[in-house]
Each structure stands twice: as structure tokens, then as C-alpha cells.
Structure 1
Amino acid sequence: MQNITESLHQLASVIIQNLYNTQQNNTLNTNILRWCLLIFFISQFSFAQDSIVLDASVSEKKMLKFEEFFFEAITEKAINNYQKAIDYLEECNTILPNNKAVLFELSKNYYYLNKTPEALIYGEEALSQEKDNLWILEHIVAIHKKNRNFPDAIKTQKIIAKKFPKKKRALVFLHLQNNDRQSAIRLLDELAEAKMLDSRLRAIKRSMFPMAKTRKLEAITQNTKKENLKTLFKKNKSFQVLTKLLDSLDKENDASLLIYSEQGLSLFPAQPIVYLMNGKALNKNKQFKKAVESLQNGIDFVIDDKALTNRFYNELIKAYQGLGDSKNVNKYQKKRK
């Protein structure tokens, strides 16, 4: 039941956003938007069906007002008006305090506003009412990741993995982001024994070769020309050869940067430099939306490297400029400073 509700929720969210972006005085789209919001509203209440009950202390009139405010909050969140959504949710909280669905929605809206302390407080309050709720647990992991608090993200993800073993895969990436290579390797071995490695994790496992081999390959590739690097990369698919090749292609503005960076993503999905080069290549090809996605995925793997982080910010600024998104351009310009 939870999976069906979640799918309905996600489908309605996508439709709402697309219709909102294109409605522009179109009566038909406006009506469709209202119906989709109704579906969205139902999916929200399916999640919260055990939370929202008509208590004897709450009059029917107040309960209808609660539902109206909650519906408005969902509507505003769907069109990215997160502060307005919070205002409506606070009205809900006044009528029916400490409702799980309201607390969860408050947490999500604060998260979207990058107000993570408030997001965490409301998320934990919602979780206290249902300790094993997957949606809330995964949301709390996302908050910790946004705060770059990987130890707490790992603790919460372990709780998820106990009930949903396949979710243990996400711990590999969290260990790598926490700069704990040994824990990642141990977990990869454990997942391999359980035959739970997907293609991305198998690629990560292959990429963790001994340092001696790394030094040898560095010596081989020193001062090697671009074409020789391409040949060498075809033979051994090493990360060291790839980084030199990508750097060479980037400096020479070579169109094949996109091809080799995409190969790198499949071979070395935990290496931030590959995502950076892929984002650069996509920006050069004016594929700005894909560039944002790749850069956002890669920046999570950057550990205590301000120079590399700023290189990601520079490319994100270019991508958002290409999309005409001044809000995010300003956001990353401030982060860069």
C-alpha cells in the first residue's frame, strides 16, 4: 500500500509542476491542475491516514479548516512556494497540534528552503510518532547529507537497512562521502557475498585497486600525449589514465570530453572529478539541465577540498545561467565567495 501511495504521490507531483509551468491563462490546464492537486492531496492523506483523525476535541468545522489549510500547503509546495506552504501548515498545527503529516510536511518545506536545523527538528518530531517510517527516515538522511553530517546519515541509513536490506547499498556512498574508505570496502565485500552488488557498486569495487598499481600507472602516463592516453585508457581503464585524458581533452576543448567523461561515470562513480568533467562537457554542449544533475551528484563526493568545490560551483553557475535560473546563479555565487 505504501509503494502505491508513494508512486501516486510522485506522479502527481511531476504532473503538477509541468502543468504549472505551462498553464499561462489556459483554462483547461488550470482545471487539470486542480484535479492533479486533488490526487496529490489524497496521496498525502493516504500517508497520514493514521495521523489525521477527527478527535472529539476538534469540531467538524475546525477539521474542515484543517483540511483546507493542508490542501493549500500541498498546492504551494508543488509550485515551490515553500514559505507560503509553511504558513498554511502552521495554521494546521494550531488546529491539530503535533500531527505527523503536518510535521513531515513542515520538515520538507524547511529542507527545500535550506533551513536544515528546522527541517531536522520537525523531521525528528514526525519520526518520534512512527519510528520505522521509511519516507521520514530517508528524508532525515537527506537532511544530514545536506549538512554534510555523514556520521549521522550513516546511523540513520543503517536503521533503514535493517528493515530494507537492499537499502544497505546506499551506505557505500555515505562511507565514501565520510572519507571512510575501509568501511566502504568492507561493506562492498559483504554485499558481494550476498550477491547484492549492482553495476555501479561493482564499478566502485573495481576502482579501489592498491596504491602500488596507482604509482606504476602514474609513471607510465607521465608526459604521454592525448592520443596515446586514449589508447592506454582503452587497454586498462585506469582512473589515473582517465584523469589525465580528461584534463587533456578539457584544455584542448575536445568534443570527445563528453564521451570519455560518461565512460568515467560508469567506471568510477565515486570520483568527483569525473562528474565535474562531465558537467563541463554538458555545459559546452548546452545540455544545462543534465549538467546540473551530474554536478549535483558529484559534489557530494568532494571531501574537504575547497578548490575542487569551487570548480563545481563555477560549472553550476554556468549551467544555471544557461537555464535562465537567476535564483540558483546567485545562490552558488554566494557559496563560491
Structure 2
Amino acid sequence: MNRSFSYWFFIFFGILLFHGNAIAQDEKPLDDLGNVSDAFQENFFEALKQKGIENYELALTALDKAEIATKKQPENLSVIYFERAKNLAKLKRFDEAELNFNKVLETETNNIDVMEALYDLYYVQRNYEAAILLVLKIIPHDEDYKEDLANLYFQTKQYDKAITLLEELDELWGNSLKRDVLKSNIYKRTGNSKKEIESIESKINNDAKSENDYLKLIFLYSNKGDVVKAFELANELLKEFPKSQHAHLALYKFYLDKGSISEAIQSMKTVFKSSKIDSESKYKVLSDFISFVNANPQYEKDLEEVTSLFSEENNSDIFKSIGDYFLNKNKKEQALTFYKKGLEKDQDNFNLIKSALLIQIDLKNYDDASNLSVNALEIFPAQALLYLINGVANNGLNNSELAIENLEIGLDFLLDDPKMEQDFYQQLSIAYQAKGNDKKADFYKKKASELSYSN
């Protein structure tokens, strides 16, 4: 795989890949130095040393001295120009680097190392037109660069040429995920989903079937609003690939929309049990089912059943979503159960901690709220809300001393929140009242009422 094509492809997925052959090329000079003087060798290898430690300016100085020592021998001058170009490129002096690369090519027209280095230079500068002309010269030496050429056509909006070349390469080399991604990107950019569908269907009809092709077609037909065709394809996918788990990412939705709930649940179970399907996709399926159950609460038991399949997942957001669903239905015990499951997966999740604590206080589970808030304060020692909840819990447990201690600490972390400040004063008033200190209790009660009046 060549540099620019792989560069484009992995940037498309948010990954930058460095190639060993590119690094190796940067480290080695042209091999044949010919008959050279001691002065040339000394300065040339000094240049290599300086480049190796990224002292590119010093490397250029050494190369200037080496050039003088070449006594204009063409083969040695080519080595100088090549090394000088690479150092100039490192310094982003691109015009000078290009000039020196071309000096080599004037005498060594087919030098593939130099052409590849110049191609990289053009690509970094996004000089795609110049890169195309150069790649056309490289291809007779290395046909892998045809993929680069297709990408360059894409970059220069020559979409027809890119598609034609990509299809030729599929014929020559077989299907490729990278080329499929590039073709898909072209169709998206041109808005030609019809052509993309025809291209994928042609592959399927020619027995070049793949699970991924079916999934792409299902997605494309779904986007077009052709649900019937998408459903047909999902079933066809299962016939061609009976063990396909990804097919159920499409089928569950169709079954839900059709009201075939038992089939939908079975498809969801397949998704949730799958080790091949990523957590984000599973979360999307679950979110859809939560929305469905919200409108059809008779299926709540099924929701609890399918979520039990997430026991091996580490995505605490799944349990947060289910907990939120039950909380919105005012089913606090069930909500708390799922918030706790989420905390088993991610004990540092503040939103889960907060949700669980508020329900525990509401249900008067003061022991649990006290323990959870103490543990949470070890992770979030500057969260005023945690001190407040701990104070409420200790007041509920008649531990007024602990309540006062934590409430007074929490006030120091409170920032511009009059409502929470009022809650602190009310809890401090309750704690001091429990201690029999009426003066302090009245003091904080008054402070709370003043805030209430001012708000």
C-alpha cells in the first residue's frame, strides 16, 4: 500500500499510519557514491549524522561542503541534491526541496526513490495536480500506485476517472475495503446513491457476495425510505450468511415497526450477545427499544430481560439510559437497580453517582446514601452536592455531628448556587436542632429564609 492512499484512508477513520518503508527511505542515501574524496565522505556522512539527530540546518551546511568536494561529478551531485532535498523538506522549505529533487531527475529520470520522495512532498503540500503527473510516471515501476492515483482523482474532483480506475482495480485485484470506502465517499460527495446501489448490486449478482455489501445496501435503501427492499435484503443476507449477527442490526428495527415483537426481541438478543458487534451499535439498538417500551409499557419485562445480556459490557451509559427510563416512569426502585449496575461498571461516573444518591435519599435509604457519598467524595472531593447529600443522609441517621462536619466543608466548595446554599442552611439547621443547639439552628434557619426571600 502506498503512502498517500493509506494516508487518506486512515485519516478517513481518524487514524494516522506511518510506514516503515517511508522511514527507511528517509534514512538511507542513494547507494552508489562512486569514487569520492575523503573530504566528500567526511562531509557527506556528517550531513547524515546531523539529519539523524534532526539538525537539518547543520546537515545542509555539511552538504554544501560535500558538494564543493564532488568536483562536479554528476553521480555524486545527484546524491547531494537528493539528501539536500530531504533536509529542506524537513525544514518545510518546499520550493527549494522540489528544485533539488528535480535536479536529480534531470539526470536520473527513472529514479523511483526520488520520484516517491517528490510525490510525498507534493502530497503534503496538497499539490494534487503535480502529484497526478508524477504518479503516472511511477505506475510503470510500481502498479500499487494506481490506488494513489484513484485517490488523487478524488481529491481533484475527477470522480468519473476515480470510479473507472477503482472498478478496474477491483477486476484486476479483487475487492478491497479501502477501495470500497473511497467509492462510497465519491458517491456521497456526488449524491449519486443510485450509482452506488447499482455498483454494489452488480457485485452481489456476480457472486462476489460479502456480508458488508449487503449491509451497505440495506443502509442505502433504508436512507431512501424503501423499507420493504431493505427488509428483503436483510432476510436475503441471513439466507446467504446464516450466522450473520450484523443482519440483526437491521432486522430488529423492521420487526419493531411491523409489530413483530417476539422476532424483534430475538434479533436484539442476537445483537446483545454478539462479540462481533461494537458497544455503540448495541447501545443504539437498546435506545430504540427503550423508546418503543416507553410507548408500549407492557414490554417492560422484556426490556429488563434483554438488558441482562449486557452483563459483560463495560458501557455504563446503557444502564444510565435504562435507569432514566424507569425514573421517568416514577419507578424509582427499578431505576436505582440499573444505576447501581452502571456504577459496577464505572464507579467514577458522576452522573450515575448523582442519580443513585438522589433516589436513595428520596427512598430514605440513608445508610446506602451515606456510604455511596463518602466513597464518591474520595473521587470528587470538591463536589458540593456530595457533601449536601451526605449531610442529608447523616441527618436521616441522626448522626448530627457528621452531618454538620460535612455540610460546613461543602459550603466552602459552593459556587454561585443560591438554591443549593439554601438547602445547606436548612440541613445545618436540622442538624443543630437535633443536637439541641437552638441558637445555631435558628441562625441557619434564618439564613435559609433570607435566601428564600431574596430569590
TM-score normalised by the chain length of structure 1? 0.48
Q: Output the TM-score relative to the length of structure 2.
A: 0.36
